[in-house]
Amino acid sequence: MKTLKRLTKPMNGLAFLLILLIWSGASTVFALPIFSFDVYHLEAYDRSGNWTYDADSPGFPTHDGDWFTKSPSPSYMFHYFAEKYIHQGTPTVIECVDVNLPFTDDASEVVMHFDPFSLVSFKRINTVDPLMPWDTPGQSGDERVYVSNGGHITHNGIPVLYLQKAKFVITTPYPNQAQVRALNPIFSYWTGDIGTGAPQTGYGFGDLDETLSDPAWLALFADSGYKVEMQLVDIVSTVTPSVGYFDFLFNILPATVPYSGGEVEVDLDDLPGEIAVPETKATIEIIEGTPGGLADDMKTLYLSE
């Protein structure tokens, strides 16, 4: 699929985006989490984002027997798309289980709330060897970026920290044969591994609002320039026909590396042109682009540096 003709070669399945990753992955600098939360059933919904694969294999042929080939038929029902949104749904429970604070050692006094997250970046990857083709059977997956206006943490019901420009980076290995067959009895003849089926991994980052946050609590993050790192530990995913649920340990700590990233909605009718990316120092010249998503409504340029 064609995206940025001048700056990068086409990458299959992308919304209109660019990702430049100078650093990615887990931090190697040790820092003690200030907050730890058990997150139960964080909800991902609206599967109308970027196309991931078709439910199509040699043992379950619905098109050409190749899950990496998107059927062009308008009536085809076996496409699988990424979820566009993540939020605290009705079944979601977030409980603080540990704190490292000078103000209290009672984790039950601390409560966290996140605003909804939206998908702004989708990149196909090989989850076993990044240098190999993404569409290698048994190794394929994707990396998604979800952004939110932020959230807040309260202590005894009083807001003390406000997070802004929050971003989650999630790596999703695609399912293996056993996992596909377990989804539904109709897939009992499915043949082949799409990906490794390994658990998802992820991390996040954001900035604290220095105006709204309580100064005493804000001071805990002064050494990181009031930037926050978020660790998503031991993610367990549950897939249903309409939504996905995610359980994990969620750690919040002062940023140990200088994360930054920004996104901008691009008017494709104005191309070619130069686009300034908010929250970064970059201006990018774009020749042309193709929208992504089920409704061709995804036109976000995302840059991480």
Helices within the chain (DSSP H only): 177-183, 215-218
Report angle CA 258, 231, 39 to the nearest 5 degrees: 145
Q: For residue 232, name the pLDDT band (cuts at 50, 70, 90).
A: very high
Give pLDDT, residue 10: 36
133 versus 183: which is more confidently predicted?
133
Q: Which residues of 86-102 are buried (b: 16+ CB within 10 A; e: fewer)?
A: bebeeebebebeebebe
The 8-class DSSP code of residue 213 comes to: S
What does the mean pLDDT of the chain come to? 89
Sketch the domain layout of the chain as residue ranges: 35-271
Tell me the average pLDDT across 240-249: 94
pTM: 0.87
Give pLDDT, residue 30: 55
Question: What is the rounded distance in angstroms from the CA atom of residue 211 to the CA atom of residue 208?
Answer: 9
Residues pairing with 158 in the sheet:
155
